[in-house]
Amino acid sequence: MEESANNKEANNKAAQKGTRGPLPELLAPVGTPSAFAAAAVGGADAVYVGLKRYSARKFADNFTLGELSGLINEAHKCGIKVYIALNSLVRQGDLTELYKTLLGAAELGPDAFIVQDLGMAYLCRKLLRGIELHASTLSAVHTVDGLMAMKRMGFKRVILPRELSFQEIEYLSSSGKIDTEIFVHGAMCFCQSGLCTFSSYMGARSAREGACTQPCRRVYLLGEKKGTFFSPKDLETLANIKDLRKLPLAAFKIEGRMKGADYVEKVTRAYRLLMDTEDKDFSAALDYARELVGDLPTRATGSGFMEGLRPQDPKYLFSKDAVSGQYLGRLKKGKNGYYSVILKGSLKLMDRLRVVTDTGESGVPFKLKKLLLNGKEEDFAPKGAQPLLFLPEKKGFVGSGLLYKVGSSDAEKRFAKESLTQAVLQGAGVFKPKRYKHSKKLEGLLKEKESPPYLISPAQRAKMLWLRLSSGKDLHLLAKLGPARFLLPLTEENISFSEEYPSELCKKVVWTLPPLTYHPLDDRLKELALLAISKSILETPMFMAANIGQVRQLMDLPRRLLICTDTNVPVLNHLAALQLFKEGVFCATISEECDKETYRKLNRADMKGMKLLFYLYGRPALFTSRMHPPEIENKATFMSSRGELFTLESSMGIQTVHPQKGLFLSSVFEKPVGSDLIGYIVDVRSEKDPLASARAVFEAVKKGKPFIGSPGDMKTQLQHLKINAPK
């Protein structure tokens, strides 16, 4: 801890001399008490941790309230801030339990909560006043309007996406709207932060709820070629720190709550060194920092988009190493829970391991607790040996496949003996949680509406369908189906088409905005919105925003509008909907990850005037990304190991991946509806023949029996609708 204090003192002196401004915090990941000690030794100014629930790293060890009590006490003694990552989405049925968790966490005195779910933020402000909120990178805020929106909602800081260039980081951080934080090191996802639903599709586990199945690390088939086409390099910005530290950023963040103490200590030390080194000595310090992190078990690294946008350059973005760790060999299943392996590297008891299948499916990391060599229990096996390993049969464990070492037992043992680690554990032992008290305020927030859901006929439901299209050129043909609304992209071409529509069609048009609107595209969209408004025959034209910044942007236009949000602004509880309502949204689209129970409870919740849409049919964007895999061309088809077919679509520098089969999310169908439900979205943008597909869906809805097998959803099983559209 003495070294960390010295670093901070040197930083303060440098700032006083005017050689540079105050440095950002160095924010380290902590998944275990040992990792906390490692972060402190490495020189972290702050750490971020997760609890057992509501963390976007569900498979990290995470902390109990008792352990966290001890950690926060020790951290504050050392001058280290503690941020609790409560950054998963929350379903309607979890709100009471969430409140108990928030109440317990707040009593420990953390320095901030890191939050993704707008309903959680709403709950914190209503019932836990005084808690500082940081908007998670999963909030997908990437515009100045987005920063302003988060500030208005009570956030103190926004964690920017990893998919930004240096110039974009400079532009956003210099806006002065709100404190900003960036990731400087760690794993990157192919998909834009907060927009991935591929994990729910492939493994019924939501990435936005902390249970990602890592679809971007899996093996796919493209023609005759197999590969991990979507696997990005890990982010490393050591060489960029000299310039980044000059920006008005609040924090440099290191990813890795599932990493061991060795990783946390060395990476934190490397960035601490470079942050505190004068410009004239930076080159020598950079060499040493690279040595510190060079032997860690990670994927290949790159600077991401830091040097600019190179979406098709594999040198900067993509890696064939889908797994982070040292490859040890192929496991062969034996008897009684034992597996054999011919080691390509040494192995010790308590090393942290991970098993990955040949198709890229990754298991949960675990510690090796039993090792047999020549029939005897040992604590070490050298390279070339063929030991028997006893591996745990727990949820998320992949038994056969490739074995990787992702953490060293030596470092874990060393940091386990640190006084800070012991103090955390001792603090946990004396922790006494307060008894939960019933909250009348919470009861009021969660009170169900008086009018119960009611049944409607298939014919009535068919009249509630909102048809989402990619172009307005065939609108007159699709109008014969009788949809309640048409959702059209806000483009100059579509605005031009709208001038030719009959007035009855114009009244049904809702202008939709794209999910990613990096500057200066956000300015162009404002121009298009004003053009659409000027052409509209409606007093209050309707728009659908795809991120929270667009809501703010539309609200600032000089005309009263009706604003909806689409599924890229995820809503799984009514408090999130109420927060959007407060921001000027009149209708929210419930996330396509909605399950049957959540649908039922949302229809009973008191929305206080907020209206709801549900996604019913389409080929949703499972990935939305700035990256373009160099092997996959626009409109190309590729296949998963289970035979599922997908298509990559590229437009204006943004890549999306869609399933080739249309999906009916039957959890929101053939059920009673609440009085707040005004429609179901039928999305035919990615259909080869939108008219044929739309007709098939509308006819199926009218008949009331559109499903194959039992009802399903993206959390259990997705149902595929057989339609007569061209294949």
| Phi, psi values for residue 480, rounded to 5° | -65, -20
pLDDT for 427:
76
Query: pTM of the entire structure?
Result: 0.90
pLDDT for 361:
75
pLDDT surpassing 50 at residue 10: no
| Closest among 154, 118, 120, 157 to 135, alpha carbons compared | 157
DSSP 340-382: E---SS-EETT-EEEEE-TT--B---EE---EEETTEE-SEE-
pLDDT for 526:
93
pLDDT for 12:
46
DSSP H helical segments within 603-703, as ranges?
Answer: 690-703
The Cα 136–Cα 86 span in angstroms is 9
Report yes or no: 427 and 71 within 8 Å, Cβ to Cβ: yes
Cβ contacts of 706 within 8 Å, gap of 6 or more? 664, 666, 669, 697, 700, 721
| Closest among 423, 419, 391 to 404, alpha carbons compared | 391
**Confidence category of residue 396, pLDDT binned at 50, 70, 90:** low
CA 457 from centroid of its chain's CA atoms: 37
pLDDT, mean over the chain: 88
| Closest among 605, 601, 607 to 586, alpha carbons compared | 607
The Cα 231–Cα 360 span in angstroms is 10
pLDDT for 663:
83
pLDDT surpassing 90 at residue 296: no
pLDDT digit string (tens) for 674-707? 889 999 999 999 888 999 889 988 988 888 765 4
Report yes or no: 76 and 82 within 8 Å, Cβ to Cβ: yes
The Cα 39–Cα 28 span in angstroms is 6
DSSP H helical segments within 479-563, as ranges?
Answer: 492-498, 503-506, 521-535, 548-555
Lowest mean pLDDT among 104-118, 187-201, 415-429, 645-659: 415-429
Tell me how far CA of residue 690 lies from CA of 3, 485, 638, in angstroms: 64, 16, 22
Per-range mean pLDDT, top range of 353-357, 495-499, 510-514: 510-514
pLDDT surpassing 50 at residue 107: yes
Largest CA distance in the chain: 83
pLDDT digit string (tens) for 695-704? 988 988 888 7
pLDDT for 22:
86
Please tell me which residue, 667 or 1, carries the higher pLDDT value.
667
**Confidence category of residue 650, pLDDT binned at 50, 70, 90:** very high
- Angle CA 687–482–514, to nearest 5: 45
| Closest among 336, 337, 347 to 387, alpha carbons compared | 347
Place of tokens 């305020």: 441
The Cα 529–Cα 550 span in angstroms is 11
The Cα 272–Cα 274 span in angstroms is 6
pLDDT for 495:
94
pLDDT surpassing 70 at residue 341: yes
Task: For helices 2-17 and 261-276, give the axis angle rounded to 10 degrees.
Answer: 20
Report yes or no: 138 and 208 within 8 Å, Cβ to Cβ: yes
Cβ contacts of 699 within 8 Å, gap of 6 or more? none
Report the amino acid identity of residue 15: A
Looking at residues 615-638, what average pLDDT do you find?
Answer: 93
H-helix or E-strand spanning residue 221: strand 220-222
pLDDT digit string (tens) for 134-180? 999 999 999 999 999 999 999 999 999 999 999 999 999 999 889 99
CA-CA-CA-CA dihedral for 362, 365, 369, 372, to nearest 10: 30
Please tell me which residue, 382 or 356, carries the higher pLDDT value.
382
Looking at residues 397-419, what average pLDDT do you find?
Answer: 80
Report yes or no: 266 and 236 within 8 Å, Cβ to Cβ: no
The conformation of residue 511, written as its DSSP 8-state character, comes to E
Q: Whats the size of the chain, residue-wise?
A: 727
Report the percentage of the chain scoring pLDDT > 70: 91
